[in-house]
Amino acid sequence: MRKAVSTPQGNESEETGQVIVYTGVGKGKTTAALGLAYRVVGHGGRVAFIHFTGPDYPQMGDVKAATTLGGNLRMIGVESQARDVSYLADFAESAATVEGALARARELLHRGECELLVLDDINPLLCEGAVEIDQVTALIAEKPPGVSIVLTGRFAPQAIIEGADTVTDFAQIKPPRTARIEPRKGFDF
């Protein structure tokens, strides 16, 4: 059952979930998904945020911050993708494999345990063929009406782009590495 929500104009509107894609070679895709996740949590919603690539840094600020939000933002890591499994210590939970993470995503959707599901950095895995596009399009098709799904990462496949409601392409205009700016704790991880 969809619930009515107030719009910024004060009108009542039927709540409809969306499929959102953040792609492109520029920085900011995960950050945009996190911003959306924090907004959902701020309004009392629940978020499942699955990191499909292993963290680059042992302590990721976004994962650590999730523990302060009272359980409404559930961070899930994927052991087989982690560069070092100790990096997963701050995650609320983890899945052993990419397939296990997709199964967990499906379970969360079917149990109604989230209003937002983020599949962070899934696009490169789809592009490489490490994850079948049919698996993800089937997951999207099973999405309950009031749930939104965000897919992030470079190289979003055309089938994912075509099935999305909103697509944002992050451009790389002046990347930090070109300017020799090293990743900074609190800003980049």
Residues 6 or more apart in contact with residue 141 via CB below 8 angstroms: none
pTM of the entire predicted model? 0.85
Domains and CATH numbers, the chain: 24-169 (3.40.50.300)
Question: What confidence tens digit (pLDDT) does each residue in 123-154 have?
Answer: 999 999 999 999 999 999 999 999 999 999 99
> Residue 101's closest CA among 138, 76, 74?
76
pLDDT at 70 over 60: yes
CA nearest neighbour of 102 among 87, 124, 119: 119
Model pLDDT for residues 5-46, shown as the tens digit of each residue: 444 555 455 578 999 999 999 999 999 999 999 999 999 999
- In angstroms, rounded to a whole number, what is the distance separating the alpha carbons of residues 27 and 172? 7
Angle between helices 133-141 and 98-110 (to 10 degrees): 10
Tokens in use for 3?
């619930």
